Amino acid sequence: MSDDRPMTNIPDNDYSQALAEGWRPIREVARITGVNAVTLRAWERRYGLIVPHRTAKGHRLFSPDQILRIKHILTWLNRGVSVSQVKPLLDSAPAFHEPADNDWQAWRQALTRAISELSERKLDDNVNQVMSLYPARTLCKQLLIPLIRELEQRWQGQFGTQLERAFFNSWLRSKLGARVYHNNRSVSGAPVLLINQSSQPFEAALWLTALLVSSSHCPVEVFDTPVPAGELGLAVERLKARAVVLYSSQALNTQLLPKLLAGINCPIVLAGTCVRIHSTELAITTTEIAGLTLANDPLEAHQQLDQLGLI
């Protein structure tokens, strides 16, 4: 069995050429992604999650796209999906393409630099400038959603990235919370209730949804933690909510959904990556629970509410 290192006493032109073309040996991929070589081999052999290039002498080499695929795998695993269930989710995702060299990419690069420097002022100044130029939906679609997706990949297995994550999440909650508060002050009426239904202490996409809804002249109420089954109806009743949005980027216990949503007499949107994770179960659940619709991301959640005539 190959140990995935070049044999110094036997020339391996295939290996050398591949390195020159940007392919990486397994030991370097393990360092980049934080996934050890044994696990990478298991993902290849047992689950077919990755298919590295093999040289004539059997050395495994990985392209930049394959390294990105490994980071995507980590993202799904971190959302509570078992490794045996990752492949169909991975293969159904849109193919990755390098973004075009445009203004939005330049903005995202500037924001990423500010995050890496933990520079709140640079981050704030850049976002304030974009906010002054574009409506909320364009801001989310072209800048914030792609930025968060890129950051998720950046933060897989790299030293210091948890620090970046903590910094960015704290800033984003404060920034969007202030904007939502400002928008709420200028409107009245029944709010849309948005709830973080995951175990994550902060769901960025939930707050992007709050920004989109509140920017449509509709009041919102955001709960950053899940509401226990049996009390969601109480929250809807007290707030007189016009709709409920449950958001999760992680796997859910879908068997508990009917109990959680029992007695809710307003439209319900279940949104986030959980919709893709549980696509089969939720296709059945939506026929059993009146008023339940699904959305993959903040843009779709906002669109669903709009189509229902709620905003």
Residue 298 to residue 176: CA distance in whole angstroms:
14
Domain that holds residue 68: 13-72
Question: How many whole angstroms separate alpha carbon 263 and alpha carbon 231?
Answer: 10
CB 163: neighbour CB atoms within 10 A?
Answer: 12
- Asked if residue 90 belongs to a domain, the reply is no
Tell me whether residue 269 is in a domain: yes
CATH of the domain at 58: 1.10.1660.10
181 and 192 in a common domain: no
Residues 176 and 193 in one domain: no
Looking at the fold, whether 45 and 22 belong to one and the same domain comes out as yes
Residue 77 is assigned to a structural domain of this protein: no
- Residues 162, 230, single domain; the answer is no
| 174 and 200 part of one domain | no
Residue 129 within a domain: yes
Q: How many CB atoms lie within 10 A of CB 14?
A: 15
* SS3 at position 21: coil
Please indicate, yes or no, whether residues 208 and 140 belong to a single structural domain of this protein.
Answer: no
188 Cβ contact partners less than 8 Å away, ≥ 6 residues apart = 219
From first to last of the 311 residues of the chain, give the pLDDT tens digit.
444 443 333 345 666 777 777 889 998 998 888 788 888 999 999 999 999 988 778 888 999 999 999 988 888 887 888 888 899 988 876 554 444 446 889 999 999 999 999 999 999 999 998 888 788 998 999 899 999 999 998 898 777 889 999 999 999 999 999 999 999 998 999 999 999 999 988 999 999 999 999 999 899 999 999 998 889 999 999 999 999 999 999 999 988 898 889 889 999 999 999 999 999 889 888 887 888 999 999 999 999 999 999 98
137 and 194: one domain? no
pLDDT for 55 equals 79
* Structural domain includes residue 1: no
* 208 contacts 180 by C-beta, under 8 angstroms: no
- Among 159, 186, 213, identify where a domain stops: 186
- Are residues 130 and 239 located together in one domain of the fold? no
The residue out of 56, 72, 88 marking a domain boundary is 72
Alpha carbons 50 and 41: distance in angstroms, whole number: 9
Q: What is the pLDDT of residue 10?
A: 33
User: Are 125 and 158 in the same domain?
Assistant: yes
The answer as to whether 84 is a domain residue is no
The model's pTM is 0.81
pLDDT of residue 2: 42
Residue 7: what pLDDT?
35
Instruction: Pick the closest to residue 145 from 92, 99, 81 (CA basis).
Output: 99
CATH number at residue 104: 1.10.1240
Say how many domains are in the chain. Answer: 3
H or E element at residue 32: helix 26-33
How high is the pLDDT of residue 14? 65
Domain membership of residue 235 (yes or no) is yes
Cβ atoms within 10 Å, residue 168: 24
Residues 131, 117, single domain; the answer is yes
- Indicate whether 269 and 233 sit together in one domain: yes
Same domain, 218 and 109: no
- What is the DSSP code (8-state) at residue 293? E
Q: Tell me if 180 sits within 8 A of 213, measured CB to CB.
A: no
Residue-wise over 273-301: b if at least 16 C-beta within 10 A, else e?
bbbbbbeeebeebeeebeebbbbebbbbb
Q: Is 79 contained in some domain?
A: no
Which domain-ending residue is among 186, 201, 227? 186
Position 11 scores a pLDDT of 41
Please give the pLDDT value at position 13. 62
